[in-house]
């Protein structure tokens, strides 16, 4: 899920229908082939500006729901970078080449099952674009463009350096659960559960390969129903896995935060990260927002 699946998202964006479902039971055994979920139109994913009480949860998420803060943080830094680039170019009287807008990208290590059950595996909230005045018409020289791209990278780095190292260490820590015996036992329930939804996949990775193939091959009119059914199947079948992994991640985080080598980074997250983000909001005209179901 960390990959953007941009082609699928682009096709979904052409459909003026958003689909979701009511939550199903948490046990995969409760799903029966004659009671598969049916598409139901509901509101699209929302945006939230609410920050966690502890900024650590935004950088070191332990649940799928907490990962929404990490997604929003990454998008914010990307948008700050672009805003700094555009401001530089405007000051120098030229326009920059177009870029692909930032999107919320989920983390494969932290599946957000409630969100996926509502919106599928590819859909998320739409990232708001900063308002800008008309850009100059002149195309910048290679040197001019590079100078502004360097400014943008510096703006992003000034924020990302506050958390990226400790966040990388954290994601390396939770990746160890891939080899955890209890996790491996829970993952072995997936093939049988997927099959009850008509999905022949022997692993989570095989499921996503099949889901991508279906979404690419589906007619545009079928995309909402496909997104709905695939998302519901994944969310239902992964709940037993997350029932094992979420408590394990919480325990890992407690230990991670208690390690002396992380003390300075954790203290900085709690005291300086949010003020730095708020300052960047004002300077670059970018909002810090997060996807919400």
> What gap in Å lies between CA 38 and CA 201, rounded to an integer?
21
Strand ranges inside the chain, DSSP E: 19-20, 40-41, 46-48, 290-292
Q: What's the pLDDT score for residue 36?
A: 47
Can you give the pLDDT at residue 293? 87
Residue 27 is predicted with a pLDDT of: 39
Mean pLDDT by runs of 10 across the 293 residues of the chain is 44 38 38 45 76 97 98 98 95 93 93 93 86 82 96 98 98 97 97 95 94 87 85 96 98 98 97 98 96 92
Q: What integer pLDDT is reported at residue 10 of this predicted model?
A: 43
Give the model's pLDDT for residue 225: 84
pLDDT at position 129 is 86
pLDDT score for 192: 97
pLDDT of residue 31: 40
Model pLDDT, residue 43: 45
Q: Which residues of 111-124 are buried (b: 16+ CB within 10 A; e: fewer)?
A: bbbebbbbbbbbbb
* Confidence at residue 34, expressed as pLDDT on a 0 to 100 scale: 44
SS3 74: helix
Contact 104, 128 (CB under 8 A): no
């Amino acid at each position: 899920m960390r990959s953007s699946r941009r082609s699928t998202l682009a096709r979904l964006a052409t459909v003026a229908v958003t689909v979701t479902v009511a939550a199903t039971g948490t046990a995969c055994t409760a799903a029966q082939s004659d009671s598969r979920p049916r598409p139901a139109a509901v509101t699209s994913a929302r945006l939230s500006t609410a920050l966690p009480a502890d900024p650590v949860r935004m950088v070191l998420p332990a649940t799928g729901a907490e990962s929404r803060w990490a997604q929003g943080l990454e998008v914010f830094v990307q948008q700050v970078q672009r805003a700094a680039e555009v401001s530089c170019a405007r000051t120098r009287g030229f326009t920059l080449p177009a870029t692909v807008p930032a999107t919320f990208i989920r983390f494969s290590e932290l599946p957000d099952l409630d969100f996926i059950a509502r919106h599928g595996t590819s859909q998320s909230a739409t990232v708001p674009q900063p308002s800008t005045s008309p850009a100059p018409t002149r195309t910048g020289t290679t040197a001019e463009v590079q100078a502004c791209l360097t400014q943008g990278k510096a703006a992003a780095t000034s924020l990302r350096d506050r958390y990226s190292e400790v966040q990388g260490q954290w994601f390396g820590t939770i990746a160890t659960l891939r080899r955890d015996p209890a996790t491996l036992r829970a993952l072995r329930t997936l093939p049988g559960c997927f099959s009850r939804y008509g999905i022949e996949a022997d692993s989570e990775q095989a499921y996503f390969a099949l889901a991508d193939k279906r979404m690419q091959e589906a007619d545009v009119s079928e995309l909402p129903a496909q997104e709905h059914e695939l998302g519901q199947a994944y969310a239902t079948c992964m709940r037993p896995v997350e029932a094992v992994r979420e408590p394990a991640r919480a325990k890992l985080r407690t230990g991670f935060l208690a390690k002396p080598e992380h003390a300075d980074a954790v203290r900085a997250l709690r005291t300086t990260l949010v003020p730095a983000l708020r300052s960047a909001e004002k300077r670059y005209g970018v909002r810090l927002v997060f996807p919400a179901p």
